Amino acid sequence: MPELATTTETTVKTFVTRAIAIAAAGLLATTATFAQDVQERTIKFGHLNNTDHPVSLGVKKFAEVLAAKSGGKLKVQEFPSNQLGNELQQQSALQGGVQEMSAPATTSLAGIVKEFGLVDFPFAVSSYAQADALLDGPFGQALLAKLPEKGLVSLGYWDLGFRNVTNSKRPITKPEDLDGLKIRVIPNPVFLDTFKAFHANPVPMPFAELYGALESKAVDGQENPFAVILSNKFYEVNKYVSATNHVYAANIILVSKKFWDRLSPTEQKMMHDAANEARGYQRQVSRAAAQKAVGELQAKGMQYNEVSPAEQARMRAIAKPVTDKFAASYDPAIVKLYQSELAKGAK
């Protein structure tokens, strides 16, 4: 019997040794594959916002998650506050492969994929839940699918927030209050025509030039989400902030396709996963910041007012011919998808 026990023990030890050897070989193979699939890279990530803005917080979260997933090999270097140029300059840098990533407003893409103008349709989106469903669903993905042929890849949408008007002349309580005001707008056809419909004088201008234009009275006002208004200290040069909530704005996470095509499938998956993890965090901090910003703007001396539902309905009616005109010039399949998804999200 002792001989049998010894034979059994030997068999077990041999099995365990082999199992350990196989596991170790597998681990070595996995480690070798990881080393081969994930290279040391530095990703230049530029954007327009200051380092206290939710977009910057989103970039930091993305960098943190990506570093953890890649064992520190994929490093993100943030360039905030227009350091790499305005939105269109950074877009060109991505297309040329000079810059790896950016996070502009979707608005800036209407020049290369005109259907992005649908995201800017005034008074269309009424809640964050509706916005998320629209952008994360089939409509938002259909827009993203049009970018690779333009030299860009997108990892999804972040929150910028509902846009609101500030100016140095008067509160905006009804459409007529916009009459004659020089309002800086993003260089985008939908924005230009919308403010023309309200008899304002829209002035397209890069964001980097905006504070100086407000300070010198070259323009009377501008429109942006509350967090942007606060972060850029527009309270120093504008007295009135009005909750027009005329457009829901999103940022889009863009990657240079030239850079993307150099990544391994493992690296691409890490980038996608990191962006998805950062998205929920960024939206949460952005929406909390918007709520907090209203009180802070008032504390800084701005006069705040809301626009009644009845006046918002009047504004929507005035803007409708503008949206109808643009919708007629877009890809009918994407317009139909936009309308059905928007209606679904409103329920």
Domain 39-346: which CATH class?
alpha beta
What are the residues whose beta carbons fall under 8 Å from the beta carbon of 40, sequence distance 6 or more? Answer: 73, 75
Q: What is the mean pLDDT of each run of 10 residues along the chain (347 residues)?
A: 52 61 51 72 96 96 98 98 94 98 94 94 95 97 98 98 98 98 92 97 93 98 95 97 97 98 98 98 96 97 97 96 96 97 83
Closest CA to 251 of 155, 152, 141: 155
For residues 93 and 101, what is the distance between their CA atoms, to the nearest angstrom?
Answer: 9
Map out the domains of the chain as residue ranges: 39-346
pTM here is 0.85
Contact assessment for residue 132 and residue 283, using Cβ atoms and an 8 Å cutoff: yes
Contact assessment for residue 133 and residue 203, using Cβ atoms and an 8 Å cutoff: no
For residues 185 and 221, what is the distance between their CA atoms, to the nearest angstrom?
Answer: 9
Contact assessment for residue 45 and residue 271, using Cβ atoms and an 8 Å cutoff: no
pLDDT (0 to 100) of residue 21 = 55
Closest CA to 66 of 275, 283, 279: 275
pLDDT (0 to 100) of residue 235 = 98
pLDDT (0 to 100) of residue 289 = 93
pLDDT (0 to 100) of residue 24 = 54
pLDDT (0 to 100) of residue 346 = 74
Contact assessment for residue 197 and residue 319, using Cβ atoms and an 8 Å cutoff: yes
